[in-house]
Amino acid sequence: RLKDLEVPKLGDSDVHVKMLAAPINPADINMIQGTYPLLSPLPAVGGNEGVGEVLEVGSRVTALRPGDWVIPADAGLGTWRTRGVFPEELLLKVPGDIPVLCAATLSVNPCTAFRVLADFESLAPGDSVIQNAANSGVGQAVIQIARASGIRTINVVRDRPDLPKLVERLMALGADHVVTEEMLRKPEMKDIFKSTPRPRLALNCVGGKSTTEMLRHLQPKGTMVTYGGMAKQPVMVPVSAFIFRDVRLRGFWMTQWRKEHAQDQQSVAAMMDALCQLIRRGQLTAPACTQIPLQDYRTALEASMKPFVSSKQILLL
């Protein structure tokens, strides 16, 4: 429901924020459904991501001032609102010279893409990565961050009516190859590996058959990182992949990474700085977005749950 609430009184360590824009991500929907590992105490405001402008700060707030742009430092902030009063430590300052949609979609997908590319394999220019759900928010960020680092991407998408249009869009972002899940099983995949080395890293956001097929193309001793499960099916791995190719299976959850690095502000700052630099240079753009006023939130929620949606719904606040 859309409700009118009083804005709480500003405490000494609090920040009064006017929200500007907030996306609808799959994890937000899962939280509303009660199926996500992190659930806010009810009654709760939805939304884990977004950008706002500081209106006023408490007397003890040192790092922020009115006019600054801020994003959530962690999940569960409740960003689908016009105003909010939050403790200073729950907010991260971001530069005000990046596009508002980039700032609104910065803290979840680009950060996930950045970490999965950096933390599991030491990739060098010329190496390759294979990923499914390549048209997702993380997938689009992986393509662009990899391209900026000289890493090639093999991008797997589901077959769909407007496939040529989607392929064109991903190639324009910097994808090296775009294939459908069906193509993963075909002998023609060998042609890709004439010009591109077999990947040392596979990124899985789907699960089920798509993952098993993707794993076949991974180099021996390669790593597959699972960060999502859109198909709601388990990851199936042939025993031979473990024994004869010694592949590694890992998991990644951005919320957990933030918890583990809560005291390591240097790592967080370095990541945000690197992403903002890419945005400024035009090497990292916001995912394809549909902007919807907050009062039409029902339309936005319904649209975000439709299959084959390649556009992220963004609530304008």
When pLDDT is averaged across residues 69-91 and rounded to a whole number, the result is: 96
pLDDT band at 273 (very low <50, low <70, confident <90, very high): very high
What pLDDT is stored for residue 308 in this prediction? 72
pLDDT band at 306 (very low <50, low <70, confident <90, very high): confident
What pLDDT is stored for residue 23 in this prediction? 97
What pLDDT is stored for residue 313 in this prediction? 95
When pLDDT is averaged across residues 167-183 and rounded to a whole number, the result is: 96
Q: What is the DSSP string of the chain?
A: -----PPPPPPTTEEEEEEEEEE--HHHHHHHHT-SS--PPSS----S--EEEEEEE-TT--S--TT-EEEESSTT----SSEEEEEGGGEEEE-TTS-HHHHHTSTTHHHHHHHHHHHSS---TT-EEEESSTTSHHHHHHHHHHHHTT-EEEEEE---TTHHHHHHHHHHHT-SEEEETTGGGSTTHHHHHHHSPPPSEEEESS-THHHHHHHTTSPTT-EEEE---TT-------HHHHHTT--EEEE--HHHHHHHTTT-HHHHHHHHHHHHHHHHTTSS-PPSEEEEEGGGHHHHHHHHTSTT--SEEEEE-
d(CA 226, CA 251): 5
When pLDDT is averaged across residues 27-50 and rounded to a whole number, the result is: 93
What pLDDT is stored for residue 311 in this prediction? 86
Look-up: residue for tokens 């500007």?
A: 20
pLDDT 10s digits, 202-234: 999 999 998 999 999 999 999 999 999 988 899
Read off the pTM. Answer: 0.94
What pLDDT is stored for residue 245 in this prediction? 96
When pLDDT is averaged across residues 138-149 and rounded to a whole number, the result is: 97
Query: Would you say residue 250 has pLDDT above 80?
Result: yes
Same fold, 14-105+286-316 and 109-254: no
What pLDDT is stored for residue 9 in this prediction? 96
pLDDT band at 286 (very low <50, low <70, confident <90, very high): very high
Question: 14-105+286-316: CATH homologous superfamily?
Answer: Medium-chain alcohol dehydrogenases, catalytic domain (3.90.180.10)
pLDDT band at 307 (very low <50, low <70, confident <90, very high): confident
Calculate the average pLDDT of the chain. Answer: 95
Q: Domain boundaries in the chain?
A: 14-105+286-316, 109-254
When pLDDT is averaged across residues 231-250 and rounded to a whole number, the result is: 95
d(CA 185, CA 66): 55
Query: Would you say residue 310 has pLDDT above 80?
Result: no
Question: 109-254: CATH homologous superfamily?
Answer: NAD(P)-binding Rossmann-like Domain (3.40.50.720)
* Residues involved in catalysis: 36
pLDDT 10s digits, 28-39: 999 999 999 989
